[in-house]
Amino acid sequence: MAAARVEDVLAAAEEQEAEKRRSVTVEKELELEFDLGNLLALDRNPPPAAGLRGAGPRREAQLRALARDNTQLLVARLWQLPAERAGGPGGPLVARLPEPAFRLPREKPPPRPRPPTRWEQFARLKGIRRRKRTALVWDEQAKEWRRRWGYRRAGGDPARAWLAEVPAGADPQEDQFARLRREKRERVARNELNRLRNLARAHRAATTVPAAPLHPTGHQSREELGHVARVARVSTASLGRFQPRLPKEPAEPPSRSGGKKRRFEPLLGNLAAERGRQLELLRDMNSKKPVLDITRAVNKQLRQEEAEAAAAKGKKQSQRGKRGRRRQHVGRSGKKSGARRQQQQRPAGSGTSSSKRKKA
Amino acid sequence: MDALDRVVKPKTKRAKRFLEKREPKLKENTKNAMLIKGGNANLTVTEVLKDIYAVKKPFAVLYKKKNITRPFEDQTSLEFFSKKSDCSLFLFGSHNKKRPNNLIIGRMFDYHVLDMIELGIEKFVSLKDVKNSKCPEGTKPMLIFAGDMFEVNEEYRRLKSLLIDFFRGPSVPSIRLAGLEYVLHFTAVDGKIYMRSYKVLLKKSGCKIPRIELEEMGPSLDLVMRRTHLASDDLYKLSLKQPKALKPKKKKNISHDVFGTTYGRIHMQKQDLGKLQTRKMKGLKKRPAEKSAEDSGVSPKKSKSA
Closest CA to B41 of B100, B90, B89: B100
pLDDT of residue A144: 92
Mean pLDDT of B196-219: 88
* A308 in contact with chain B, both atoms CB, cutoff 8 A: no
The answer to whether A43 contacts B171, with C-beta atoms less than 8 Å apart, is: no
Residue B4 banded pLDDT, cuts 50, 70, 90: low
Residue-wise pLDDT tens digits, B214-267: 999 889 999 999 999 998 888 999 999 888 877 777 888 888 888 889 999 999
Higher pLDDT, A295 or A17: A295
Interface test with B, best of A17, A26, A39, A62 (most B CBs within 10 A): A39
Residue-wise pLDDT tens digits, B12-70: 999 999 999 998 888 889 999 999 999 898 999 999 999 999 999 889 999 999 999 99
pLDDT of residue B194: 92
Interface test with A, best of B70, B148, B175, B201 (most A CBs within 10 A): B175
Residue B1 has pLDDT above 60, yes or no: no
pLDDT of residue B146: 92
The answer to whether A47 contacts B189, with C-beta atoms less than 8 Å apart, is: yes
Distance to chain A for B154, nearest Cα, Å: 15
The answer to whether A110 contacts B26, with C-beta atoms less than 8 Å apart, is: yes
The answer to whether B110 contacts A94, with C-beta atoms less than 8 Å apart, is: no
pLDDT of residue A186: 97
Residue A321 has pLDDT above 80, yes or no: no
pLDDT of residue A138: 92
The answer to whether A38 contacts B143, with C-beta atoms less than 8 Å apart, is: yes
Residue B88 has pLDDT above 60, yes or no: yes
| B70 touches B102 (CB < 8 A) | no
pLDDT of residue A227: 79
Interface test with A, best of B36, B108, B172, B185 (most A CBs within 10 A): B185
Looking at chain B, the whole-number percentage of residues with pLDDT higher than 70 is 93
Q: Report the 10 Å Cβ neighbour count for B9.
A: 8
Mean pLDDT of A5-32: 83
User: What DSSP assignment string belongs to chain B?
Assistant: -HHHHSPPPP-SHHHHHHHHHHS--SSPPPPPEEEEE-TT--HHHHHHHHHHHHHHTTSEEEEEEE----TTT--HHHHHHHHHHT--EEEEEE--SSS-SEEEEEEEETTEEEEEEEEEEEEEE-TTTS-S--PPTTPPPEEEEESTHHHH-HHHHHHHHHHHHHH-----SEEEGGG--EEEEEEEETTEEEEEEEEEEEE--SSSSPEEEEEE-S-EEEEEEEEEEPPPHHHHHHHH---GGGSPPPPTTEEE-TTS-EEE--------GGG------GGGSPPHHHHHHHSSS-PPPPPPP-
* B63 in contact with chain A, both atoms CB, cutoff 8 A: no
The answer to whether B196 contacts A46, with C-beta atoms less than 8 Å apart, is: no
* B80 in contact with chain A, both atoms CB, cutoff 8 A: yes
Measured in degrees and rounded to the nearest 5, phi and psi for residue B121 equal -90, 120
Interface test with A, best of B34, B86, B144, B196 (most A CBs within 10 A): B144
Residue A333 banded pLDDT, cuts 50, 70, 90: very low
Mean pLDDT, chain A, integer: 80
Query: Out of B80, B143, B174, whose CB is closest to A39?
Result: B143
Radius of gyration of chain B (CA): 33
Residue-wise pLDDT tens digits, A192-248: 999 999 988 888 877 775 555 566 666 677 777 887 888 888 888 888 888 888 887
pLDDT of residue B170: 92
* A93 in contact with chain B, both atoms CB, cutoff 8 A: yes
Distance to chain B for A49, nearest Cα, Å: 6
The answer to whether ipTM exceeds 0.90 is no
* Distance set, CA A261 to CA A161, B37, B243 (Å): 55, 46, 41
* A45 in contact with chain B, both atoms CB, cutoff 8 A: yes
Residue-wise pLDDT tens digits, B108-159: 998 999 999 999 999 999 998 888 888 888 899 999 999 888 999 999 999 9
Residue A288 banded pLDDT, cuts 50, 70, 90: confident
What number does CATH give the domain B29-235?
A: 3.40.50.10480
* A122 in contact with chain B, both atoms CB, cutoff 8 A: no
Residue B98 has pLDDT above 90, yes or no: yes
Residue A348 has pLDDT above 50, yes or no: no
Residue B188 has pLDDT above 70, yes or no: yes
The answer to whether B177 contacts A79, with C-beta atoms less than 8 Å apart, is: yes
Distance CA A11, CA A165 (A): 103
pLDDT of residue A23: 75
pLDDT of residue A320: 56
Higher pLDDT, A88 or A171: A171
Residue A327 banded pLDDT, cuts 50, 70, 90: very low
- Within 8 A of B88 by CB-CB distance, chain A residues are 107-108
Looking at chain B, the whole-number percentage of residues with pLDDT higher than 90 is 49
Region of poorest pLDDT, from A21-25, A28-32, B98-102, B293-297: B293-297
pLDDT of residue A221: 75
pLDDT of residue A213: 58
pLDDT of residue A225: 82
Residue A190 has pLDDT above 90, yes or no: yes
Domain-by-domain residue ranges, chain B?
29-235
Looking at chain A, the whole-number percentage of residues with pLDDT higher than 70 is 81
Query: Which chain A residues in 253-282 lie under 8 Å from chain B, judged by CB atoms?
Result: none
- Within 8 A of A16 by CB-CB distance, chain B residues are 206
Residue A336 has pLDDT above 80, yes or no: no
pLDDT of residue A357: 46
* B8 in contact with chain A, both atoms CB, cutoff 8 A: no
Query: Out of A43, A102, A212, whose CB is closest to B164?
Result: A102
Mean pLDDT of A311-338: 55
* Nearest chain A residue (CA) to B4: A359
Residue A147: beta bridge partners?
Answer: A136, A153
* Nearest chain A residue (CA) to B208: A79
Count CB pairs under 8 A between chains A and B. Answer: 211
* Nearest chain A residue (CA) to B77: A360
Residue-wise pLDDT tens digits, B154-168: 999 999 999 999 999
Query: Which chain A residues in 53-92 lie under 8 Å from chain B, judged by CB atoms?
Result: 53, 60, 63-64, 66-68, 70-72, 74-76, 78-79, 83, 86, 92
pLDDT of residue B89: 94
Residue A49 banded pLDDT, cuts 50, 70, 90: confident
pLDDT of residue A105: 92
Query: Which chain B residues in 223-262 lie under 8 Å from chain A, judged by CB atoms?
Result: 229, 231-232, 235-236, 238-243, 248
Residue A47 banded pLDDT, cuts 50, 70, 90: confident
The answer to whether B147 contacts A203, with C-beta atoms less than 8 Å apart, is: no
* Nearest chain B residue (CA) to A355: B2
| B223 touches B192 (CB < 8 A) | yes
The answer to whether A24 contacts B141, with C-beta atoms less than 8 Å apart, is: no
Q: Report if pTM > 0.95.
A: no
* Nearest chain B residue (CA) to A39: B142
pLDDT of residue A53: 72
Residue A318 banded pLDDT, cuts 50, 70, 90: low
- Within 8 A of B142 by CB-CB distance, chain A residues are 39-41, 71, 74
pLDDT of residue B116: 94
| A44 touches A28 (CB < 8 A) | no
pLDDT of residue A350: 44
